[in-house]
A = this chain, B = another copy of it.
Amino acid sequence: MAPRSWLDIAPDSPFSLADIPFGIITTPVSSSPHVGVATGEHALDLSVFALCSGSSDCRAITSHLEVFSQPALNDFAALGRAVHRENAGALIRGIDNALHPNYMHLPVGYHGRASSVAVSGTSIRRPHGQVMGNPTAEVPKPIFTPSKRLDFELELGAFVCKANKMGEPVSIKEAEENIFGLVLMNDWSARDIQAWEMVPLGPFNSKIFGTSGSAWVVLMDALEPFRASGIENENGVLPYMREGKEENVYDLNLEVELTIMANSIGVSPYVLTIYAAKSGTSTTIAGTNGKYLLFSFPQMLAHHTAGGCPMQVGDLLGSGTVSGTEPGTMSGSMLELSANGNNKIQLHGGDERTFLKDYNTLTLKGRAGGEEGGLVGFGECTGSIEPAITMQ
């Protein structure tokens, strides 16, 4: 049975006592961003809690109370997972590519931009970029245009909570302790820009205009009851990524919802306001599970640092698009859902889509468990598409 609280928490609340995800809040009495945890419909202000000695039962944290007054989670994360565990108890109790030969052997990755990571609710502007004017021409010539194939990618994001020095890899044994917690992540992608630019150095402008993350970080410890096996990797992995445990990923139900305003044809500032209220017609366009990963986050971290690359507290690792192996779970992007734009995705209200239009709102949802109020939920990860700017 799940623990009880003096707070009234609805059984279907994503933020149950089994979850207690961490985030940054402001309150009427404290407008400086600081640390809180979400519980039901409430957020517990940890800077106030610390001032009032609420954590005096938690020896590990008492000498670090200043971390809760910071405008980011980094200092708290850097205390390490051992501290979080005790602290949590005291408080309340894709891999994004086709099948190349390296695909099963290493978590194929690229670096994005920390500067364009945005919290849920931030609007994303349709990017301009170079795309092929006429892809069938003998000598391809690019044009500069707003992207016409704007897409999302349903991912999990993991925050690093421990730095390693340059030249000193994080071993697979240490890696799990270096990961703070997870968020839902939308790695917005412009597929037409990507197709033209990505050979040979990988995606660049197509994936740096915005990455959305849910606002509350769910600690790895809260996910512990939901361990599951990932996608079987027939090749096995090289020893530097061997975890010695089969259940290295998490059974998380993930959903993607596309919302379209009834009157979105009339583009005006008023439409944007209405969107903020998130009325409109919504369709769940994809559903999958967090266990469908070929590599776990500890494996990604061990690989990322294998050559000595220094990670920093707050570094965000994306899982790549979560695409399942079972029917109905295989699509974490419009690219996959529409078979590269060839099939139209049917929406409630009679509309249809291949890629995202302006003022469409994308919402990622995630949750695990749920019996007896023990739901471990992620906050929603939403973003609306703003029209491209007019270039001079």
Contacts and interface: CB of A to CB of B under 8 A. Distances in A.
A309 B106 contact: no
B311 A115 contact: yes
Contacts of A204: 108-111, 304
A158 to B, nearest CB: 17
B113 A111 contact: yes
Given A105-B130, A105-B142, A125-B167, A200 B97 contact: yes
Most chain B CB within a 10 A radius of its CB, from A116, A204, A389: A204
Contacts of A97: 200-201
Contacts of A58: none
Given A100-B199, A116-B310, A200-B198, A205 B303 contact: yes
Contacts of A50: none
A96 interface: yes
A370 B363 CA distance: 60
A63 to B, nearest CB: 26
Given A166-B118, A202-B201, A144 B111 contact: no
Nearest to A140: B101
A210 B113 contact: no
Contacts of A166: 115-116, 118, 125, 209-210
Copies in the assembly, this chain: 2
Nearest to A208: B309
B96 A144 contact: no
A116 B198 contact: no
A85 to B, nearest CB: 25
Nearest to A125: B167
A213 interface: no
A102 B196 contact: yes
A118 B171 CA distance: 23
Contacts of A169: 128, 389, 391
A57 interface: no
A127 interface: yes
Interface string A139-152: 11011100100000
A314 to B, nearest CB: 11
A248 B239 CA distance: 50
A169 to B, nearest CB: 7
A7 interface: no
A389 to B, nearest CB: 7
B100 A200 contact: yes
Nearest to A200: B97
Contact of A125 (B98, B308, B389, B392): B308
A389 B167 contact: yes
B209 A102 contact: no
Given A128-B169, A130-B106, A167-B389, A306 B144 contact: yes
Contacts of A183: none
Task: List 10 tightest A-B contacts by C-beta distance, closest first.
Answer: A202-B202, A127-B307, A125-B167, A111-B111, A209-B307, A208-B309, A110-B201, A201-B202, A115-B310, A209-B308
Given A128-B169, A144-B239, 15 more contacts: A105-B130, A109-B204, A110-B111, A110-B204, A125-B167, A127-B306, A147-B307, A167-B386, A167-B389, A200-B202, A202-B202, A205-B304, A205-B307, A208-B304, A209-B309
7 contacts: A101-B139, A102-B197, A105-B142, A115-B309, A115-B312, A190-B307, A205-B306
